[in-house]
Amino acid sequence: MSGDGFVAGEGCHYGSPARGKLSAAAIAGIVVSATSFAFALSICFWLRRRKRMKSKTAKQPQVRVARLFRGKPVEDDLELDDEVAGPQRFSYDELAAATGNFSDDRRLGRGGFGSVYSGVLADGNREVAVKRVSEISRQGWKEFASEVRIISQLRHRNLVQLIGWCHRGGGGDVLLLVYELMHNGSLDAYLYDPERVLPWPARYSVALGVGAALLYLHEDAERRVVHRNVKPSNVMLDASFTAKLGDFGLGRLIDDGRRSHTTGFAGTWGYMDPESVLAGRASVESDVYSFGVLLLEIACGRRPAVPVREQDEDFIHLVRWVWRAYGGGSIVDAADARLDGEFDGREMACALLVGLWCAHPDCSLRPTIRQAVSVLRFEAPPPSLPTKMPVATYGAPADHPDTTTSSATSTTVSGGGGSGVGHSSTTQSSAESSLMKWQANNTST
């Protein structure tokens, strides 16, 4: 108790004179703390609400506008997620401007699929090759979409890079694919053009490059792929003659097993594994077979159909022709005569031997692509093959009753399931029919 007790004086009171009063600083602190707490609480509430809204949006099904191709609705899954780096979509006008409105002097080549044109994109910094799919081509939306989807997931120095694509609908559907420009064109031009002979070191480098590409597709890619159309015209050469495998229109992703998703055979006669044709399905083993034929072409400078005699309409398959040279004790005799003996004998023998190994009639005795590449790199010993080409022992599968089988052989000559690419024996061109005939006669007898 303090004070002097007089009313006119200090009076009487208990405790300190300042008790019960807050300073201005304390009041300000309380206000600031309360305001900060309220602000933090509102931020938390806003973030939580935003998260809920995103979750609801993600759960809602995406509404797609139906895409029409040749008057029919098709599955449109070419638009990639924003987070995925892949080929971009171009407008028709952009690509027309890049190629001089698809002028003839920009045309690099023409085939059954359509034409390829050189061009320069609007930024002026990138040369491209634009593939314009012909309206009468067998390549439809399925093959077009397959090529875009598959290549967008692949990254390898020995694969052609797909830069973008375009589909212009309306009165006349136009399908366009945009690739990096390969200044030296395709391999077949150097194997069969008498004016341009590719020297052996470059050929062997091409063989290793294609092998590396297939090794990536079959075993190392995140989504493994069966190419189904390995051949010289699909091997492109850049300015330094580095091999790049292209054309994935027939490619298919591999499922949990080693077989391709596809039913029905597809590819090019002469490069197609006879057993794959018969079974109506593709596999990594059938790609290895095609690689084997390619190796023999690179080494021999001959197409898969080898005339029995000059100016003769009878042919034998290149595999059998080389196997005869191997059985004769000098496989190097099958080397391309245009090389004039200017090649490494060890590499030549290795390429020919691995080619035969990959194209072995029994797919169970073929190497994996990794084994084949290891031998080509001289990291593993060469295979031991019989001097006489083995006889194929496969027959018509029971689960493909719709196939037509030659009376003299067990090789089917008609398409299997719904790939839309295979030909029936009644619709084949005469050239394809002839090629099928000698392929059948020389793979199962």
- Which residues belong to the annotated binding site for ATP? 131
Residue 348 identity: M
User: Cα 188 vs. chain centroid, distance in angstroms?
Assistant: 20
Which residue matches tokens 């405790």? 15
**SS3 string of 7-41?**
CCCCCCECCCCCCCCCCHHHHHHHHHHHHHHHHHH
**Under a CB-based contact definition with an 8 Å cutoff, are residues 409 and 444 in contact?**
yes
Distance CA 190, CA 194 (A): 8
Q: Going by DSSP bridges, is the β-strand pair 114-120/107-111 parallel, antiparallel, or unpaired?
A: antiparallel
Which residue matches tokens 């190419």? 227
Q: Going by DSSP bridges, is the β-strand pair 235-237/243-245 parallel, antiparallel, or unpaired?
A: antiparallel
Q: Give the pair of three-digit tokens for residue 21.
A: 């009063």
Distance CA 336, CA 306 (A): 13
Nearest to 334 by CA among 315, 354, 348, 344: 348
Phi, psi (degrees; rounded to nearest 5) at 392: -70, 140
> Burial level of 282, CB count in 10 A (0-12/13-18/19+)?
buried
Helices and strands in the chain: count of H runs, count of E runs: 11, 14
Which residue matches tokens 């012909």? 134
Distance CA 250, CA 147 (A): 8
Annotated binding site: 131
Q: What does 188-202 look like in DSSP terms, one character per residue?
A: HHHHH-TT----HHH
The angle at the Cα of 297, spanning 295 to 303, to the nearest 5 degrees, equals 145
> Burial level of 33, CB count in 10 A (0-12/13-18/19+)?
exposed
Distance CA 435, CA 431 (A): 6
CA quadruple 46, 50, 53, 59: dihedral sign: negative
Query: How far is residue 161 from each of residues 79, 129, 142, 242, 250, measured CA to CA in Å?
Result: 18, 11, 20, 13, 16
